[in-house]
Amino acid sequence: MSSMSVSQIQKNSLITAIKTPFNQNGKVDIDRYNQLVEQQIKHGVDGLVVGGTTGEGHLLDWEEHLMLIAHTAKHFGDQLLVIGNTGSNNTREALKATQSGFASGMHAALQINPYYGRTTMEGVYQHLSRVLDLGPAFIYNVPGRTGQDISTDIVQRLAEKANFVGVKECAGNERIAQYEKQGIACWSGNDDECFDGRHQHNSHGVISVSSNIVPGLMRQLMDNAETESQAINQQLKLLYTWLFDEPNPAPLNTALSLTGAIDPIIRLPYLALNKEKREILKSILTDIGFEHVTGTQWLNLTDKDFISII
């Protein structure tokens, strides 16, 4: 069971969907992962989603996935909120993984509605209700990936459960504003909408991809007054666009490789972005300032430098 209460978890505004790096043997690169997490801590990030879409949880087997959650909880759980992505479209699998995640020390789970083999809204409710019985959980609504929007009435019913933390919401700021007015905590699931979500629609924060690369600036974006944050948001708009030009996490994999934050090793079916797009990123990060960027320096990697693994 989580060592944090729901109310404590809700105080965390900047949560990074952390990248999972790999080595040439095709294994999770724990040393590189630790370095990434240390950078998040250094820049004041509140928490991590481990093994999410950005962390390629769908490409990890459950042994790797649960190992990474356990490792993060053991080594960093006293410094960061640890959210394990233990959701599944298989209720039995989600329950088993969530039980294992809590047993290994994660503070909360991220739970998604069944994708691909979709069910009815009542089936969605029953699925999410069962996993909420196990401990604190964020509900993840991302219709672009699941093909199904979790309806507001289902979320309102789930919000009555003691372990309901809130929603990672990708259906826009109008939805976030609606929920927040009802006392339902929301975190933006879209970086390009998180400024408006935070400063105009009262979101609790963001679960971010961009904070893998610019954690300090994302921290300021959440914390600063609206006028100061607006300038930062304007500065980051081209980065947001670039990171989602191709399906996440391929751009992030490419970016962190180019800054030396990870080795340029990418697990299929993802591939590095092409040379033209890499040059665009160099220009974007130069304008932002490399002092704000995760990594050691810009590496002029060629196509051949990127290694595909399975």
Residues noted as catalytic: 140, 168
d(CA 133, CA 109): 11
d(CA 257, CA 247): 17
Q: Can you say how many angstroms the Cα of residue 106 is from the centroid of all Cα atoms in its chain?
A: 15
Cα–Cα nearest to 87, from 134, 45, 21, 46: 134
In eight-state DSSP terms, residue 59 is G
- Helix then strand then coil, in percent of the chain rounded to 5, is 50, 15, 40
Residues 6+ apart with CB under 8 A from 305: 264, 299
d(CA 35, CA 23): 14
d(CA 188, CA 202): 10
Neighbour-count burial of 283, counting CB atoms closer than 10 A to its CB (0-12 exposed, 13-18 middle, 19+ buried):
exposed
Residues 6+ apart with CB under 8 A from 161: 129, 132, 133
